[in-house]
Amino acid sequence: MLMMMMVVMLLLLLLIMLLMMMMIMMMMMTIMMMIMMMLMMLTTTTAAMMLMMMRMMMMMRMMMMMMMMMMMMMMMMMMMMMMMMIRKLLSLFLSHKTATFMQHTSKLQVKYKLNKSRPPNIYAGHEKAITLQPNT
């Protein structure tokens, strides 16, 4: 079981690394595009070309954004799945007794919290004074 856990963790790490690499690549691409646009603008004199380039740039940016969003979503999903898996594994690892004990302790804590005396009221005197004022 431990081995399985280790393998899963390793896989997760690899996935994250890959994602990071992809992100970096995206960033690089965007930067490169920017540089290219700048060069084009400097070289070309026609405004039409510039406009076209700008449009292209916008499109590319949109595409990039979409890709990034997708990646993020995927990552989130993966993380959620991993959490679920880990929880299941932990539940399997832990015996029934320990779980029940944990529940009991939590219940006790809650009870104690409920029964604990309230913190001292700072406005105790003032409240009384306000209440005693005659209604005009």
pLDDT tens-place string over residues 29-84: 777 777 776 666 666 556 666 566 667 667 777 777 777 777 777 778 877 887 88
9 vs 79: CA distance, rounded Å: 11
φ, ψ of residue 18 in degrees (nearest 5) = -60, -45
Q: How many angstroms separate the most distant Cα atoms in the chain? A: 86
Distances (CA, A) of 70 to 11, 25, 63, 77: 20, 15, 11, 11
The residue assigned the tokens 């995206």 is 26
The pTM of the whole model exceeds 0.85: no
- What does the pLDDT read at residue 97? 53
- Rounded average pLDDT over 91-114: 57
CA dihedral 20, 21, 25, 26 (to 10 degrees): -30
